[in-house]
Every structure is written in C-alpha cells, then in structure tokens.
Amino acid sequence: MADLDLLAYCGLYCGACSFRVAASEQDRRHLAAMPATYDRLKDQPLEECRGCRVDDRCGDCAIKTCARARGVAHCGDCGEFPCERSSNFTSDGAPHHAETIANIERIRRVGPQRWQAEQEAAHTCRCGKRLSWYVNDCIHSQSLTAPSTPMKTILQTDFPGLKKISQGKVRDIYDLGEHLLIVATDRISAFDVVLPNAIPFKGYVLTQISRYWFGQVAGIMPNHLVATDVAEFPASCRPYADDLAGRSMLVKKARPLPVECIVRGYLTGSGLKDYQKTGAVCGIALPAGLVESSRLADPIFTPSTKAEIGSHDENISFERMSEILGREKATRVRDLSLAVYATARGIAEQKGIIIADTKFEMGDHDGRLILIDEVLTPDSSRFWPKDAYQQGVSQPSFDKQFVRDYLGTLDWDKQVPGPQLPEEIVKKTSEKYLEALEKLTGQRP
C-alpha cells in the first residue's frame, strides 16, 4: 500500500486534492511510524486543503479520506459529518494516535481490504450503532434505509392510528405530536399537476438525497431532520415499518414561509423565456447574448408564491417578498438560499452533476429559520450530467425534466387530470432518479 494512502488513513492528507494539511504533534508521531515517508515530507511546507469536503472522496474510494475527518466515521442517523456521537471512538479505548500507529502496521501485514473488514466488525458508534470506517453511513442505518427485498411502489399512504394532516404532490404528512412524519410516495407531478403513474423507487431516492444534502449543508443553516431510521420513530409507526423504510423522515414542526426560495445558476425553462422577452429574469437584468443553458456569472434568487395543488406558482420580485416577510427576514432567506446552492453546486460538480437551478422551502422553528421539506432533489432541482453539458442546447437530465419533455409532445393543456405515462417513460424516469442518487451518494436500493 502506498505511503500516501496510509497517510490518508491517518488523516494527514486530503484524499480529494492530495494537499498536505497542517500537522499537529500527534500527526508527526504518526509520520514517525513511517521513517521513509517522514524523511521525505517533514521539511515540506504545510498547506491547507483546498476546501475539499470530506464526503467528496470518503466512501467513494473506501480508502482515502480528507484530513479533516481525522479518521472518524460518519453516522447516517445524525446526517452530520462527522457525527458528534461517533467522534473519537476507538474499539478498546486506546489513545487515538496509538491506535493509528497500530493500524498502520496491521494494514501492512494483512492489506487494506482485510483491515477495513476488521474495523467494520470491531468499532461501535457512541450512539450504539455499528459503523463502517471511510464510508458515508452507519451500517445499521443502511440496513433499514436500503432494504434488500424489492421495494413496494406506493402512490397513496393510509396508516390507521396515525393522524394524516396533509397530502401534497408527492409527500404525505402525519402529525405524531412532538414531530411530523413525512412520507415520500412514488407520485410524480409536472406543471403542478399530479400524474396518475407511480415511479418506482422515487420516494426512496428523494428521501435519501434530501438526507444527504441536509448533512452537507448543516454548517450553513439548520434543518428539520430528526431521524430517518424507522427504529428511532415513535412506537406507533412500527407496524408500518416496511412501507416507511427508506422513504420517510421524522422532522421538527416548523411554520413554513409563504414563499418558495428559487435559485438559478443557469438559464433555462421559464427563466429563459422571461429573458428572451425582457432581457431579465423575474426583474433581474442579465447580460445580452445568453442562450439556452448559459451559466450565469452569479446565481440569482427568484422567489415565487406557493400554489395549491393544481395551481401554478407565481414568480414574484424580491421587493414583493420583502413586503410579505419583512425586509430583514427576506434578505436572510435570500442570502441563505444562495449560500446553500453555491455549496451544493460545488459538491455536485465534483460528482459529475450540474445543479442548474433549485427550489428550497424554509420555515420558522424556535425563533430561527430552518430548511424544511425536501432539499436539492431531482424533484426540486434540475440535474444535468456535467460531461454532456453544452451551452446553446437543451440538456439531458437526471430529474423529472425527462417527463416534462415527454409531456411537451402531447396535446395537453397542463390542467388536471394529467395524462397516463407510457411504461417506457416510467422505467427511464425511475432509472434517472436512481442514477442521480448513485452519483451523489454512491447508494442504490
């Protein structure tokens, strides 16, 4: 095994950019266990990692991890990296640096694959769940959220004993008292109309991608996620575990804002049509000469109202949003939306996905703004394959734009009821959702 890979295990190098990160005395003791490597590197200037997120490589390659992880596993229950409950755990309570040196010797003797298997068997998160080092989830969570049996396709939910308070275009919401239960069905909507078909695995994909992004952007703003592990839901949910597994979230109760928070990083869709007519998008002037799929120099915030099912959202100006929310809150909503989008766009591009635009929902909880509902999914965003991007033409996508494009070939007035989708369109749409999940998280059901 290469010394650089060993250093990555020790947390001395970032596996994403291979930049050496500032080493502590403890780090230097790690290096001292590898004399040849230490001699080569001890006098090199220390450089900060280029801002790589640990998740960019950790879990993808199963070997290298960003130095900032410090050899700590990720607990999927918390949606945080690293999980506070799993930080600094060891199998035997030994000092971390001593265990690391022992690990290096063990890796040299038995090889990285066997060593990793041993770690998976030996280490336990402080929250009581078994953890797999250098992958992005708690093993226990994976066993519940990625069922090995074929997943049931669900269009409607009805759980006797649970209080259903809302049915949206895709999600059913239940009031569990202290928290809400959000269940992502396999329904699909387009042009604000719910279509009659179910898309296999869609609810699972939306939930898992949302869970991933909640963790990625938790440092920018808090969110409503409490748990995705059915074992941590109230006991009243347990009879419905098979239906809930992988597609449901236990969340905090929040008061939703009466606006949608839309961020556009590329010119397409209704934004392109607006630009072609006025030279602006939602009143925001843009440079001349932009075409279909042009990347905007700076992402723009274009809020809209929230419409009832069957009605269409209405774009509004920032000034109008300020009248609704108040100037101070509107400014904070805009700034947070742009910050979350910028962070997510950078992460996704490293994984081969362009997030062209997206829609966030926020709410008030205990006096502060939090992200709610879904976040950065194929339903709330346009996902384009980075390697196929070409300015001036419509892009292939990993999202429901595929369905919109098909519907555009029909003689349909975009009013209820929506048309039945052919089986071929249903299958390809399901495959696109699953591809987006795998590209972002490395996960498949």
- Please list the pLDDT of the chain residue by residue as tens digits (445 residues): 344 444 444 444 443 344 444 444 444 554 555 555 555 555 554 444 334 333 332 332 222 333 333 333 333 333 333 333 333 333 333 333 445 556 666 666 776 667 666 665 554 444 444 443 333 333 333 322 333 345 889 999 999 999 999 999 999 999 999 999 999 999 999 888 999 999 999 999 999 999 999 999 999 999 999 999 998 999 999 999 999 999 999 999 999 999 999 999 999 999 999 999 999 999 999 999 999 999 999 999 999 997 665 456 788 999 999 999 999 999 999 999 999 999 999 999 999 999 999 999 999 999 999 999 999 999 999 999 999 999 999 999 887 877 988 999 999 999 999 999 999 999 999 999 999 999 999 888 7
Report the amino acid identity of residue 431.
E
Please check whether residue 193 is in contact with residue 418, taking contact to mean a CB–CB distance below 8 angstroms: yes
Q: Are strands 381-385 and 193-198 parallel, antiparallel or unpaired?
A: unpaired
The pLDDT value given to residue 48 = 41
**pLDDT for the residue 125:** 42
The rounded Cα 51 to chain-centroid distance in angstroms is: 18
The DSSP bridge partners found for residue 363 are 256, 370
pLDDT at 445: 79
* pLDDT, position 75: 36
Contact of 66 with 15, CB cutoff 8 Å: yes
Where are the domains positioned within the chain?
3-145, 153-445
Residue reference for tokens 């290469």: 2
Q: Is the Cα dihedral 247, 252, 254, 257 positive or negative?
A: negative
Q: d(Cα 37, Cα 5) in Å, to the nearest integer?
A: 11
Kindly report each contact of residues 45-51 with a partner whose C-beta sits within 8 Å and lies 24 or more positions away, as own/partner: 46/20, 46/21, 46/22, 47/19, 47/20, 47/21, 48/19, 48/21, 48/22, 49/14, 49/16, 49/17, 49/19, 49/21, 50/14, 50/17, 50/19
Fold of 153-445: D-amino Acid Aminotransferase; Chain A, domain 1 (3.30.470)
How far apart (Å, rounded) are the C-alpha atoms in residues 230 and 113? 31
**pLDDT score, position 443:** 85
pLDDT value of position 67 = 32
Q: Which pLDDT score, from 0 to 100, does residue 116 have?
A: 62
Question: Is the whole-model pTM more than 0.75?
Answer: no
Whether 276 contacts 269, CB under 8 Å: no
